[in-house]
Structure 1
Amino acid sequence: MKEMLTISEIAKLRGMTTEALRHYDRIDLFKPKFVDPETGYRYYSIFQYEILGTIKELRQIGMSTDEIKQYFNQRNFKKSSEILKAKHAELVSKLKELTEIEVNIKEKIAYLDNISRKEAFQEIIFREIKSRKLITLNEKINSNLELCYSIIRLETMLTEKAPILASNRLGIIIEEEDLKDKRFEEPSVIFVVAKKDEKIQKKYLKMIPEGLFACIRYNGELLRNRSKSLKKLFAYLHETGYLIAGDALQIMVVDITVTDNPNEVMFEIQVPVKKA
């Protein structure tokens, strides 16, 4: 066994790259014990193993090179303990965030996998839907430009991670009065369905009670191409003896966050109904 090791030898011993060691030398984080003045070759002492091993571990827990420099600056028990506790708290916070993201992605994958097994376009079905809490700016949307800005404003109100991508939580409210008067192309209010633990000011919330909904799906833009579907749905309600029982929701089922193909964009209109 020898005390002095080449850069390749100590890198292999510690499972690191020679480039990482050269970088640590350049930034004065971990310098070789000896540099040959003629060849420029770096040589390290085996007794430097503790420092290099600690650097590797600190990098593994996410510390930057500047943070590691601070860690080694006048090390003592109290200082090291405090730094590690702070880093642990940071990691716990990141793990919580990653767990939330993982749960959201899992739900979105299950949702997307389930879409293909749902009802066909222009098929009218009745569905019992539980109560929902909507977050809305209470502003009517008159154009796609206004729609874009409203979506951004709604997203910034949410504290959850990856909230709207690939979900059926974004949509617009079609007011009951407009439905009864057959004003199907009137400007509408945009919303996002809130999750249970979302804390939002009361003025931005709207409750949709549970009940029976007549539903129909179609392709097209959010603010256009819905008249045909609504006319078909209302004709069916008239034939079967149902009345409108409140504001309707137009839900984005598949949107531009998951496809560039306009033929794959899908919406569902949900009209609350009751027997005449």
Structure 2
Amino acid sequence: MKQYYSIGETARLNNISIQTLRYYDKIGIFKPSYTDPDNGYRYYHVKQFFYLDIIKYLKYIRTPLEDINRIISSKCTPEHMQSFLEEQESVIEQEMENLERARRLLQRRKRQLNEQLEICDKKEEGLIYFRHIEEQTILKVGTPQVTPYDPPDLYVRKLADVLEERGDMVDNYYGFIYDLKSYKDSHDIYFDSIYTTICKGEKVSREGENIKLDTLPPGEYVCIAFDWSTKHYDSYYQKLYHYIESHGIQTDGKVYQVSLPINYSSSREEQFLTELKVLKK
């Protein structure tokens, strides 16, 4: 039986690329049994294929090449291999957890974009409309001195810091809560808090530092939507407020404002879609 195989034959028989075999040779993970000194051709012994299978297996379970090199080049016993595989299992489980978090974040963002598109359909001509909203879990931070005209970025960073500590991310969705009442103008509005939505059932480790978990209550909301503008914010608020008053609508006494980006380019002027919504009781 043939015992030595060229690099091309070895690649074909083991479902691996020639480029990978050359790289493995270069870094010392898997070297040919013999290299012809005249032409530099590499030849592998058939018994080496067993060890190539080990390398491929370790690579498949996401083992870094430096760890593979250490295992292959050392006197790795079954006991050492078992200990290593247990460590690698923990690494994979953490990666799976991170991927699951990424999937939940992606799904949450998709729901928010669906909501944004729904709001866009409603905003024409600044009409009042009603929208049913499911309960949402939120992380919020108190903001005693922030008005609709102040930049909220530093408060949003506080929320981001808490979420990033636990492997989550703040996304493009954030909102504000303040009292529903008759204001002389919107410069008299002060937000109670700024919030972002998170997945239901999530825990955070820094509750209490003016930051807490809460929920936005489910139900039917009376709403108005518009493209954010310092010039027109007051008129939209007043229109919503007077509609609620003139129709005798009972509410929970809070305005829930959400701001959503219309473009995602940092080089362009900021544009936000804003919705003001009030829960009917």
TM-score by length of 2: 0.80
Question: 1:152: Cα distance to partner?
Answer: 2.4
Identity %: 20
Structure 1 SS opposite 2:276: strand
Question: 1:220: Cα distance to partner?
Answer: 1.5
Over residues 34-55 of structure 1, what are the superposed CA-to-partner deviations in whole Å (9 max), with x where a residue is unaligned?
Answer: 1111212211111100111111
| 2:42 paired with 1:42 | yes
Cα distance in 2 for residues equivalent to 1:227 and 1:206: 30
Cα distance in 2 for residues equivalent to 1:113 and 1:212: 18
User: 1:10 is matched with which residue?
Assistant: 10
User: 1:246 is matched with which residue?
Assistant: 253
CA RMSD across the alignment: 3.2
Structure 1 residue identity aligned to 2:141: L
Could you tell me whether the CA contact under 8 Å between 1:173 and 1:247 is conserved in 2?
Answer: yes
Could you tell me whether the CA contact under 8 Å between 2:228 and 2:271 is conserved in 1?
Answer: no
Could you tell me whether the CA contact under 8 Å between 1:216 and 1:229 is conserved in 2?
Answer: yes
User: 2:33 is matched with which residue?
Assistant: 33
Q: Gaps (5+ residues) in structure 2?
A: none
User: 1:182 is matched with which residue?
Assistant: 184
| 2:162 paired with 1:157 | yes
User: 2:242 is matched with which residue?
Assistant: 235
Match of 2:197 among 193, 198, 204: 193
Could you tell me whether the CA contact under 8 Å between 2:140 and 2:214 is conserved in 1?
Answer: no
User: 1:125 is matched with which residue?
Assistant: 129
Aligned residues: 268
Pairwise mapping of residues 255-266 of structure 1 onto structure 2 (< 5 A)? 255-257=262-264, 265-266=272-273
Pairwise mapping of residues 202-221 of structure 1 onto structure 2 (< 5 A)? 202=208, 203-205=210-212, 207=214, 210=217, 213-220=221-228
| 2:153 paired with 1:148 | yes
Between 1:242-251 and 1:204-213, the stretch displaced more is: 204-213
Question: 1:78: Cα distance to partner?
Answer: 0.8
Structure 2 SS opposite 1:242: coil
Question: 1:259: Cα distance to partner?
Answer: 10
Measured at CA, do residues 137 and 25 of structure 1 come closer, stay the same or move farther in structure 2, by a change above 3 Å? Answer: same
Over residues 221-265 of structure 1, what are the superposed CA-to-partner deviations in whole Å (9 max), with x where a residue is unaligned?
Answer: 5x7742121011122123212366433121124554599987974
